[in-house]
Each structure stands twice: as C-alpha cells, then as structure tokens.
Amino acid sequence: MKSISLLLMRAGTGLLLVIWGLIKIMSPAAAVGVSDKYYGGTVSMDWLQLPWGILQVVIGLAVVAGLFRKYVYPAQAVILGLGVLVIWKYILDPLGLYLLDESSRQVLFFPSLAVFAGTLILMAFREDDTLSLDRKFGL
C-alpha cells in the first residue's frame, strides 16, 4: 500500500509540474498573466517562459517516473516551495477574511500547500518507494 501511495503522490505532484510547464511552453502569455496577477510578476519575463517550462516538464516527468529522485525531488520541492512562499496570502487566508478581500481571494491556491507537503513526503520516504525506475534500475 505504501508503494502505491508514493506512486500516486509522485504522479500527482509531478504532473502538476508538467501541466504548468506545458502552459509556459504552449501559452507563454497566459503564464505571464498568471505570474503578474498572483505571483507579483516574479517570473513574467517572456524569454524565461520556454526554458522554465521545459525544465518543469523534464523535472515533472522524472518525478512521475521515479527517475533521478535524489535530484528531482529537491528540485521539485524548491519550485513548489517558492510558489507557496510567493502566494502566502492565499495560503493563510483562502477565504479572504483578513489578508485578502472577496474580490482577491482564491481558494484554488490552497492545495499548493498539500502538493508541497507531498513532495516533502516523497523525499522522506524515498527508500520506501519500490515502484520507481530508480529502484528498478538500481540508480
């Protein structure tokens, strides 16, 4: 059961990176719009969208496959952790009760905390993840 749970967590957290990476690759203007609106423009440079998107897709696919976990889990944790830090108001006040208001609240960002925590769990239980390609190939 633990190995299946870790596989599902890998799939969920890794595919999130793949989806966000594909958005940057396929619709850089949409990615810039999200960055401007919710992330204070931290990654809004047009020239950054394609390489950043490709990197996210590569890391996400490696996470899903369980390949190079020693490196891609920390990379994913940094990406998702920085994302959580930047949207801290949405994490602390998802209902817009004290930091945000009704027009600026965004409940859909709250699961970012769970996805980040999931990545930390993957790191903590890496040795128990027997359904990874790393484990299969002895990497």
The predicted model scores a pTM of 0.88
Q: For Cα atoms 121, 123, 129, give the angle at the middle one, nearest 5 degrees.
A: 85
Q: Give the tokens for residue 68.
A: 């190079």
- Tell me the pLDDT tens digit for each residue of 75-100: 999 999 998 998 888 899 998 888 88
Q: Which pLDDT belongs to residue 72? A: 97
Ranges in the chain, pLDDT < 70: 38
Give the long-range contacts of residues 45-52, CB within 8 A, separation 24 or more: 49/24, 49/25, 50/24, 50/25, 52/21, 52/24
CA distances from 36 to 47, 77, 81, 95, 120 (A): 15, 22, 18, 21, 28
* Side-chain-facing half-sphere of 100: CA atoms under 13 Å: 18
Contact 96, 104 (CB under 8 A): yes
Contact 86, 40 (CB under 8 A): yes
Instruction: Report the distance separating Cα 108 and Cα 123, nearest Å.
Output: 25
First to last CA, the chain: 23
The three-class DSSP label of residue 129 is coil
Domain ranges of the chain: 2-127
Contact 61, 89 (CB under 8 A): no
